[in-house]
Amino acid sequence: MVDQTNQVAETNEHPNVQVGDVLSGKVAKIEDKQALIDVGYKFDAILPISEVSNLHIDKISDVLNLGDEIKVKVKKLNEEKDELVVSKRAVDAEKAWDELAAKQQSGEVFEATVAEVVKGGLVVDVGLRGFVPASQVELNFVDDFSDYTGRTLRLKVVELDKENNRVILSQRAVLEQDLQKQKEQLIDSLSVGQVLEGKVARITDFGAFVDLGGVDGLIHVSELSWDHVDHPSKVVSEGDVVKVQVLRVDRDNHRISLSLKATQPSPWEKAAAEIKPGSVVKGTVKRLASFGAFVEILPGVEGLVHVSQISHKRIGTPGEVLKVGQEVEAKVLDVNIEEKRISLSIKELLESPEIEETVNVKLEEPKSLGVSIGDLIGEDLRKKLK
């Protein structure tokens, strides 16, 4: 091909035109199937409708208007018939290939309008027929593209094959890039202790992932509730909007640890309001140790019954009197919320065995003698009088 830089003809001149030349011209007339272009030659050039655009068009007037200045490439020249056939799309294509190659190399994001919905994706006008596969349109699956015609997409070049006239573009790549930037900005803005609102995105056996606005954080099952949780689904469901506190941020690996229970009143806060020294509480024996028994008196709150406070009788180990799971009543001896300690006594609610024995002896003594005190005194007096 002859170097095009030396082939651009100026309007109102009469150069020696050759096939392959690129000429500047002005739209002089628009007909149904062709347009006449004044390129400064001795006769107007013919621009067939098929050579107007790289996309299918129904009317030339959809693309060109009278007086428009355009560049065209000479496709055919017949001096005898005063016939000069030119192509606008050939010039547009050459320019587009160069521009798209530069965009592909730099990773530039550009906009293009959807010209047509076809099987398998979308066709856009980028000076060439650009194709956006269905899988490259959005981040999520799209079932129906019928309303995409005329939409403006933000695109990146995925593949260029000039030999086969193949141009593959992707909006999804742009959206993924945006999402990545959004994630990085969000993670950079997070701080430990910060309380955020998010939506439960998915649930696993070990916890729940919460969407914080483009990036997910994990609430481990142990951080879902102050109570014991067998499975995260017992506490939250997908789609739930929850308030969470940031526990840890791993910026290098984009990992965020969250807590749901940290945003809720702790059991010990509730205990501070409800449990007072001298009050009687009910609870369940949760653990036995050599020095005493731990009794759960509120969900997540345990008090200690020291071995000396279990029974009035002397015992070696709590297991001689209590067992895990047993329901008991106890008296609150002391409450220390700051140190999360509550001292309990079971024996304080039991009668002392010494008192019971004393009472029994007084009641049974006259019955065992078989006589009254008066009888004893009277008999003693009679002996003295004799």
| DSSP H or E stretch at residue 93 | helix 88-106
Name 28's Cβ contacts closer than 8 Å, sequence gap at least 6. Answer: 35, 36, 37, 38, 44, 66
What mean pLDDT do residues 261-279 have? 89
C-alpha 229/C-alpha 71 separation (Å) is 72
**pLDDT category, 269, cuts 50, 70, 90?**
confident
CA quadruple 369, 373, 378, 384: dihedral sign:
positive
Written as six digits, the tokens of 307 are: 């071995």
Give the residue-averaged pLDDT of 70-87.
91
Domains in the chain, CATH or no CATH each: 4-92 (2.40.50.140), 107-175 (2.40.50.140), 191-263 (2.40.50.140), 268-349 (2.40.50.140)
Q: What is the pLDDT of residue 270?
A: 84
Indicate whether 7 pLDDT > 60. no
Neighbour count for residue 252 (Cβ, 10 Å): 7
Tell me the C-alpha distance between 119 and 150, whole Å.
17
pLDDT attached to residue 380:
55
Residue 170 β-bridge partners: 156
pLDDT tens for each residue of 277-291? 999 999 999 999 999
Tokens for 360, please give them: 């029994």
DSSP notation for 154-175: EEEEEEEETTTTEEEEESHHHH
Residue 5 has pLDDT above 50, yes or no: no
Closest CA to 88 of 55, 114, 133: 55
Share of the chain above pLDDT 70, in %: 88
The average confidence (pLDDT) of the chain is 87
pLDDT at 372: 53
**Interval 293-313 mean pLDDT:** 93
Question: Where in the chain does DSSP place strands (E)?
Answer: 22-30, 34-38, 45-48, 69-78, 83-87, 110-118, 121-125, 129-133, 152-161, 166-170, 195-204, 207-211, 216-220, 241-250, 255-259, 280-289, 292-298, 301-306, 327-336, 341-345
Half-sphere exposure of 324 (CA within 13 A, CB side): 4
Decide: residue 193, CB within 10 A, 0-12 exposed, 13-18 middle, 19+ buried: exposed
Q: Name which of 149-158, 211-220, 223-232, 348-357 the model is least confident about.
A: 348-357
**Confidence band (pLDDT; 50, 70, 90) for 56?**
confident
